[in-house]
Copies of this chain bind each other. A is one copy, B any other.
Amino acid sequence: MRSPTVQDSDLSARAKIREAALRLFGTSGFGVSLRTIAQAARVSPGLVIHHFGSKDGLRAAVDESVLSVFLERFDSLPKDLPADLLSRAMANIFSDVLGPSPDIRQYLRRCLLDETPAGTTIFDEMVVATRRGLELLERRGGIRSDADPEWRPFQVLSVVLGPLLMEPVMQRNIGEPAYAPDVVRRRTSANLDFLSRGLFTRAADTRAEPMP
């Protein structure tokens, strides 16, 4: 079993191109030239077209490969997992996949902006899964009953995805890689505390606007 982003040369040329594209699309955006990608994969520009048909085809292939990483692991979750274990298992999927792979992190950030079909699927899937997890959790009494069901999933997702999107900002401000194992552990613990008890001691006025 290997990390999905190895850059060793024992991959097929097709796979090497796809990995290079994942990395370069993530770091430099979809604007990178096929020549640059081909060069990174140590392959001729023509071969990229030969394998993927077009630049859009290449993008679709990268999309699909990233999507499949998540869907495979979502599908392999036992269907009858208790709610609290389910939410934890889902969380572990993200830390397992995103933690060790900066390439996938960067690419996902782009997806959130550019609204490629796969990106749309991934994030919609996350909303649905999060909402369902919260509903299960609620039925078992794990959630405050007066929390707004409409916004709950997005609040959780904001906390989960925030670090992904603010990775460079965080890095500048805390002085160490935002996804180093130790940093992830500290942040995870702080986020659990935050999700469990909030931040403020009391709301001055519930109908006012503290943060938009």
Contacts and interface: CB of A to CB of B under 8 A. Distances in A.
Contact of A166 (B112, B166, B210): B112
Given A191-B211, A199-B196, A150 B174 contact: yes
B159 A161 contact: no
Given A124-B172, A193-B203, A188 B166 contact: no
Greatest chain B CB density within 10 A among A144, A151, A191, A194 is at A194
A29 B114 contact: yes
A180 B90 CA distance: 31
B87 A211 contact: yes
A197 B202 CA distance: 8
Report the copy number of this chain in the oligomer. 2
Given A112-B166, A166-B154, A190-B148, A203 B196 contact: yes
Given A113-B110, A142-B200, A155 B190 contact: yes
Nearest to A89: B209
Contacts of A209: 88, 91-92, 95, 188, 192
Contacts of A151: 186-187, 190-191, 194
Contact of A210 (B169, B192, B198, B210): B192
B91 A199 contact: no
A208 B193 contact: no
B201 A189 contact: no
Interface residues of A, number: 79
Contact of A154 (B84, B160, B170): B170
Contacts of A29: 29-31, 113-114
A212 B99 contact: yes
Contact of A162 (B154, B169, B170, B202): B154
B198 A196 contact: yes
A211 B188 contact: yes
Interface of A: 29-31, 84, 87-88, 91-92, 94-95, 98-99, 109-110, 112-115, 120, 123-124, 127, 137, 141-144, 146-148, 150-163, 165-166, 168-170, 172-174, 184, 186-204, 206-212
